[in-house]
Structure 1
Amino acid sequence: MRNLPAFTLAGYDKGRGKLTQALWFAVMNTVFMAWFTPARLRVALLRAFGADIGTGVLIRHRVRVLWPWKLTVGDHTWIGEGAWLLNLEPITIGANVCVSQEALLCTGSHDHRAADFRYGNAPIAVEDGAWVAARATVLAGVTVGRHAVAAAGSVVHKDLPELTLQTMDGRRRPVDEPK
């Protein structure tokens, strides 16, 4: 039986104070996500709020990042239009990764067995050369391995080994070695 009024933020650390959180939300919703904001300014804004962003990173418009200070992105990575990095816990994205349009990386969850619906959050790692395709979802605690592919519309709920493709129906098969 669920008792949602019993829910608390126990054990969850947002990582910054309320003023920084509010300032980030203001910047994210007015400048960062806007179509007219240059990609390099988006990178600069994330860095200003504590993200560790490599060189040559491309972040398109309408990207949402919950907490920049819990984000690490490697060199030459692309994050596509409308992607949502829901990082209650750290998200680490390697080098030469493509996170496509409207993909969701969600580190947050709840313990469905607990009456108070307490958090069941866990970090996400997307390793070098991986591709999280359009509208794919990567859930809390998952590692997407090197050069692995989460196909469009797929839901990755357990680790995806390197050089593995997960299809929308959840099937997995090897992918060819990158050239």
Structure 2
Amino acid sequence: MATLNAALDAIERHLNFPRSRSTGVSRRLQEAILLPSGAPGVPPDMDDDNVLDLVVALASDTELHNAVDAVEAFHRMTPGGVSLVDAPQSIPSAPIAVAILIEDARAGVADARKSQIEISHNASALALHKPAAQAVRFCMPGQDAGHWASRGHHKSITLNVAAIADALDDIFGKVIA
């Protein structure tokens, strides 16, 4: 576990999201009980998933009051927008797929470290770009993942998986491969 302040510092250092913005976003996520709040005199303890939720909220580049919606949408995204009701447990949702990719990068898997995560600001969608592989797109169930760029003006941010992995290593310590 790590403190929120350590997470905010590492996110600024490795991903260049300003601390001034990430502080406000983290407060909104805490109010919605998506991030831990701590107790009087005790800083909140963050885990890997909490940090990834915060990074997704920051990368969504939305208004502050919509940060919670961005994280909740991230938790509901499925591969290609398919319904996962009665689907095998082996089919990961977006948070699981992202966590697996980043854990591989933290363990030193070269292709994982070269990968990128693209987060769409206005389509509630995410794409994993791996070297020499077709992008894996996640979106809300019922959406067509193949048309996210054709919904009018499209805005997205692409994050290097290695930078996220390095931030997590900075926060939680290196993963021993």
Give me the TM-score of the superposition, normalised by structure 2.
0.32
Q: TM-score with structure 1 length normalisation?
A: 0.31
Greater RCO (CA < 8 Å, at least 6 residues apart): 2
Which has a greater percent of helix? 2
